[in-house]
Amino acid sequence: MTSSRKNNAVWINDEAFGALDLIENQIFSKFNRLMNENEANEIYETGFLAGEPMPYTFVFAPHGKCNQETIKNASKGDHIELINGGKVVGYIEVGEVFKFNAEKSSQNIFRANEAAPAQQSQSGELAVSGEIKIYDDKLAEVRKLIEEVKREQNVRKISAIMLTAEPFNRAHERLIRMTIDSSDLVLLFLLKSHGADEMMSFSLKKSVLEYFIQNYVPKNRLIIVPFENSNLFSSHLNPTLECIAAHRLGAHKLIVGQNHAGIGMFYDHNVAHTVLERYKNDLNLDIVVLPELVYCDECKTLVSTKTCPHGQHHHIKYHAQTLKTLLLAGILPPAILMRRDISAMILSELFPNRFENIQKLCDDLFPSNGLLEKQTEREFYENLMKLYQTTSLT
């Protein structure tokens, strides 16, 4: 006998779950439910819904025979459970069932991740509209925190930065500090890396950012917004969605680098422009494009390519792939590229229990105050970098 749950549930992948979570939390629009056919048609025709810019529709047509059978048999007011990874993660309260417009699939939020494998973004013939409820909603908690901070600190200027932070380096740090200088509050959108590009777990990246905020910048000036469940923003493939998400969470300014993928930067009369400028008026959002940050061996510090008078042959660039190559090989990146404590934090997680006798290594390599102190792998990496930075014999 088939269980009632099987007859009243749809199975969704991580991509769909992430998109549903973002929709419910009004990250893309004040519209926070799955759209019906009329609402979708309005967006296809105008690109707007109720005066809001809407580049994508929220039309949910899950692929698969069982999923489609569930939707076909659903009636208005029914609760369809959402199952992801074998767990019930929420439900949809059914509004109406209608035929999915396959010709407009490219304008569907569930197909917006260009980097997703084709089989992960397939759609069925029938779609369902209705209210969404996601259980254990961490994003809702972050939204509540942002509102509390805005109220308590009388926040006026909010800036947003989108970071994959893989790995978090000195250029990211400088970008954050520059943004804090001109803002009352900074929203750090932490994005997932996509597929083969992922070196670090999302929880490790979040821990690194939390450590940095706790130790090196004013804690009440930054809030991490974790987009843990969605790849929609991975590799900055959807800069339009970045603008909308920043605006929806209250940001007045979005900070991006000139190498940001997808912004379509061009110059007109020696003035930089991007394809995102069309959203300045619709969203009341300033887009600030910062020049590339590098380490100059003549200036002996981190500079922007716009202000440094020395040529590229004097510049050390903060290429994420290069830093990842070093870390994956178990090598500490130079301290001019990454803080030694952050490098140590990452390496100790990537290579747990790497050394057979970490205590003997520490005792043989590092000076002590005469007391025997147990050393962790993280402390080993930090102390090793201190030796690298000793210059009297180099």
- CATH code at 165? 3.40.50.620
pLDDT band at 153 (very low <50, low <70, confident <90, very high): very high
Select from 259, 256, 250 the least CA-distant residue to 157.
250
Is the pLDDT confidence value at 230 over 90? no
In a domain, 236, yes or no: yes
Considering the domain architecture, whether residues 232 and 363 belong to the same structural domain is answered as no
pLDDT band at 175 (very low <50, low <70, confident <90, very high): very high
Name the more confident of 256 and 154: 154
Query: For the ranges 15-24, 194-203, 331-340, 353-362, which has the lowest average pLDDT?
Result: 194-203
Give the number of other Cβ atoms within 10 Å of residue 252's Cβ.
17
Considering the domain architecture, whether residues 383 and 261 belong to the same structural domain is answered as no
For 89, the 3-state DSSP assignment is strand
Considering the domain architecture, whether residues 177 and 280 belong to the same structural domain is answered as yes
For 358, the 3-state DSSP assignment is helix
The CATH number of the domain holding residue 39 is: 3.10.400.10
Number of domains the chain is built from = 3
Under DSSP, the state recorded for 271 is E
Name the more confident of 119 and 29: 29
Helix or strand holding residue 19 (H, E)? helix 14-24
Select from 381, 7, 20, 41 the least CA-distant residue to 229.
20
- Segment 341-351 mean pLDDT: 95
Helices (H) and strands (E) in the chain, counts: 13, 18
Considering the domain architecture, whether residues 146 and 284 belong to the same structural domain is answered as yes
Considering the domain architecture, whether residues 46 and 72 belong to the same structural domain is answered as yes
Largest CA distance in the chain: 78
Considering the domain architecture, whether residues 290 and 147 belong to the same structural domain is answered as yes
Is the pLDDT confidence value at 57 over 90? yes
In a domain, 299, yes or no: no
CA–CA separation, 343 and 50 (whole Å): 48
CA–CA separation, 243 and 268 (whole Å): 22
Percentage of the chain modeled with pLDDT above 90: 63
In a domain, 319, yes or no: no
Strand partners, 2: none
In a domain, 315, yes or no: no
Name the more confident of 43 and 258: 43
Considering the domain architecture, whether residues 201 and 264 belong to the same structural domain is answered as yes
Host domain of residue 37: 9-136
Tell me what the pLDDT averaged over the chain comes to: 87
